[in-house]
Amino acid sequence: MNEMASERLLIEACRSGDREAFRRLYELHKDRVYSIALHFSGNESSARDIVQQVFLKLFTRIGEFRSESIFSTWLHRITVNACLDEHRKQRRFISIDDQGGEEEGDENQFIESRVTIETDYSMIERSALVRRAVGRLKPKLRIAILLKYFEDLSYREMAEALGCSEGTVASRLNRGHRELAGLLEALRGDIK
Amino acid sequence: MIWNHVTKDLSAYVHGELTPDEARRIGEHLVGCRRCRHEYDEIRFGAEAVRELKIVSAPDSIWTDLEAALDARPDKKSWASALFPLPAFSYALAVLAIAAAIGFAIFRQQTPPATDTGWEVTRIDGAPAIGDQRIASRGRLKPGEWLTTDSSSRAQISVGQIGEVKIDPNSRVRLADASPGTHRLAIEVGRMEAFIWAPPRQFFVDTPSAVAVDLGCSYTLEVDRRGAGKLKVTLGWVAFEWKGRESFVPAGAVCLTRPDSGPGTPFFDDASTVFIDTLAEFDAARNDTEKMSALDALLPLARKRDGLTLWHLLSRTEGGARGRVYDRLTSLIPAPAGVTRRGVIDGDRGMLDSLWEPLELGDSSWWRLWKAPFPAPTARIETTTDNN
Ligand SMILES: [Zn+2]
């Protein structure tokens, strides 16, 4: 039985209200959804909210899911929307290391954060620096990058999840990676 | 030559989203365009940094909260229907499906893309062999297997999706590593011609006395029965490395390697025979006296274009000898501002890099940035024990 067929059966069971099937579906996807939410929002409490929103929506609307479409695409789209909604709800979000707020597109904040990263370089582990740098990307670039790395999607799948063209996916990933490189200048040489 | 910058396609290039033709076009462009190489380097660095992010397990309590939220909903129709169990058949199928889905998810996480099936080999002439099997027209070279050509046969190897290698007669090569992201051949003896369009540092060739590291290019590599080698670059760059000693070889240049001393000093192949012979004497010198005498003969022979060779000699000499190399180099090509004789003699890395720039061989920063720890040879090439 291939993955698509087995997933369809699992979803059929969910439609008829089988809670065990729901739990299985949740188990299959929860860690990746949580990881995206955590790295997107920068804090555990928002990440929990996002995961709950995603699966609540998923479970209550599973009847609307059209069996000819691909379940994972639907899940990714719900995840992206929940992340962006959470961002809109919080005018200022608190990043993972309590380093203070970030306003979208605020140039000064961007430069300031680069200085902070360089200063703390010797004290903070590498992955914490990367987490923090990702948290400083604009939400649209950030979500594109997280979706790419945690879900390993093709540009075509990403375009469907993000509701944009493949060209836009490519340009967001280009910008996102370049900005990350700028933020992480201090790490260059350590990450191979 | 197509000359449109490729910056907008670079992340797709890094993520393998392009067709082989598109990827090849971009690889070729990167070899010649400093601006796009810089962008590429930024994007690749950003992309590799993201790999530091790790999957975090969702806390168990989320499910409990989720169930509570579902139970608290006024419309519990979907849950209520759970009171009416599925027909047994459907339920059994669903359980199987769940097991299969979980199994698949685990399988997908643990299994790298199947590249260990090897690389395709196409016969060009004669009867090349993989192991002891002769190839009629096509075959597959799997990791650890040897491809052998006799005096009348030639073959072509497809290097995954990233390039092609032609194997000339009387050669013996082994596929050393084809795991994801790695492309590594070992050549024991013979001659090969490589054309690689992948980003730099993805294709390695082990020889008995040096590792050729592709920096985006095409080149030929010959190894004789004693394990001595000759690398000649026709496009782009190759690094020739062994035990901390490295040579950067641009198009038009050659680098020899010897079993006892590793990669020699690179030189342009249009240099005079006497210059090339004297350089070989320097590389083979066993003591300071021999070195100095070779250097004395060599330096006056150097042309401006031999700045490539002199620059490499700076890191292969010390003290007064290095000072004399510096003097000859800067008499041919003036040193940039900020570079001093004293600083170079003391081994100032920044000054060595600055001296590279006026050689006009391309910005040194781009290949330095690409330099990263590369995998050591997977195994030493054993001394030939074949009976034929
Ligand atoms: Zn360009």
The model's confidence at residue A99, banded by pLDDT at 50, 70 and 90, is: very low
Whichever domain contains A113, its CATH number is 1.10.10.10
DSSP H/E element including B206: strand B203-207
Of B235, B179, B176, which Cα lies nearest the Cα of B208? Answer: B176
* Chain mean position to CA B199: 8
Nearest to B56 among A13, A34, A63 (CB): A34
The reply to whether A67 touches chain B by the CB within 8 Å rule is no
Whichever domain contains A27, its CATH number is 1.10.1740.10
Contact A32 B51 (CB under 8 A): no
Is A121 inside a domain boundary? yes
Contact A59 B86 (CB under 8 A): no
Contact A52 B15 (CB under 8 A): no
- How buried is A105 (Cβ within 10 angstroms: 0-12 exposed, 13-18 middle, 19+ buried)? exposed
The yes/no answer to whether this complex scores an ipTM above 0.95 is no
The reply to whether A171 touches chain B by the CB within 8 Å rule is yes
Of B166, B214, B158, which Cα lies nearest the Cα of B193? Answer: B166
Is A63 inside a domain boundary? yes
Domain count, chain A: 2
Same domain, A8 and A83: yes
Task: State chain B's maximal CA–CA distance in angstroms.
Answer: 97
Centre of ligand 1 to C-alpha B22, Å, is: 14
pLDDT at A191: 52
pLDDT tens for each residue of B202-224: 789 999 888 988 876 789 999 99
Written as one string, the DSSP assignment of A12-28 is HHHHTT-HHHHHHHHHH
| Average pLDDT along chain A | 78
Q: How far apart are CA B329 and CA B359, in angstroms?
A: 10
Same domain, A81 and A23: yes
Contact B369 A188 (CB under 8 A): yes
Q: Which residues, 6 or more positions from B372, have their beta carbon under 8 angstroms from its beta carbon?
A: A192, B201
Q: Which residue has the tokens 């594109």?
A: A144
Is A122 inside a domain boundary? yes
Among A91, A124, A157, the domain-final residue is A91
Nearest to A10 among B39, B51, B94 (CB): B94
Centre of ligand 1 to C-alpha B33, Å, is: 5
Same domain, A85 and A115: no
Residue type, A70: I
Work out whether strand B203-207 and strand B183-196 pair parallel, antiparallel, or are unpaired. Answer: parallel
Of B214, B231, B164, which Cα lies nearest the Cα of B370? Answer: B214
Structural domain spans, chain B = 7-50, 61-110
Nearest to A181 among B7, B46, B82 (CB): B46
Written as one string, the DSSP assignment of B99-140 is HHHHHHHHHHHHPPPS-TT-EEEEEEES--EETTEEPSSEEE
Q: How far is A46 from chain B (nearest CA, A)?
A: 12
Q: At what angle do helices A19-41 and A139-151 cross, to 10 degrees?
A: 130
Q: How far is B212 from chain A (nearest CA, A)?
A: 19
Is A176 inside a domain boundary? yes
Is A97 inside a domain boundary? no
Question: pTM for the complete prediction?
Answer: 0.50
pLDDT at B213: 85
Same domain, A27 and A78: yes
Tokens of A170: 């490519």
- How buried is B163 (Cβ within 10 angstroms: 0-12 exposed, 13-18 middle, 19+ buried)? buried
Among A34, A64, A91, the domain-final residue is A91
Same domain, A65 and A127: no
Is A133 inside a domain boundary? yes
Contact B86 A51 (CB under 8 A): no
Parts of chain B with a pLDDT under 50: 1-2, 76-115, 365-388
Same domain, A183 and A122: yes
Centre of ligand 1 to C-alpha B161, Å, is: 22
Contact B97 A6 (CB under 8 A): yes
- Partners of A21 on chain B (C-beta within 8 Å) are 94, 98
The reply to whether A17 touches chain B by the CB within 8 Å rule is yes
Centre of ligand 1 to C-alpha B24, Å, is: 14
pLDDT tens for each residue of A72-87: 888 999 999 999 988 8
- Partners of B67 on chain A (C-beta within 8 Å) are 19
The model's confidence at residue A38, banded by pLDDT at 50, 70 and 90, is: very high
pLDDT tens for each residue of A1-14: 566 667 777 888 88
Contact in structure between A75 and A108 (CB atoms under 8 Å): no
Residues B287-324 as b/e (b if ≥16 CB within 10 A, e otherwise) read eeeebbebbebbbebbeebbbbbbbbbbbbbeeebbbb
Is A99 inside a domain boundary? no
Bridge partners (DSSP) of residue B146 are B174
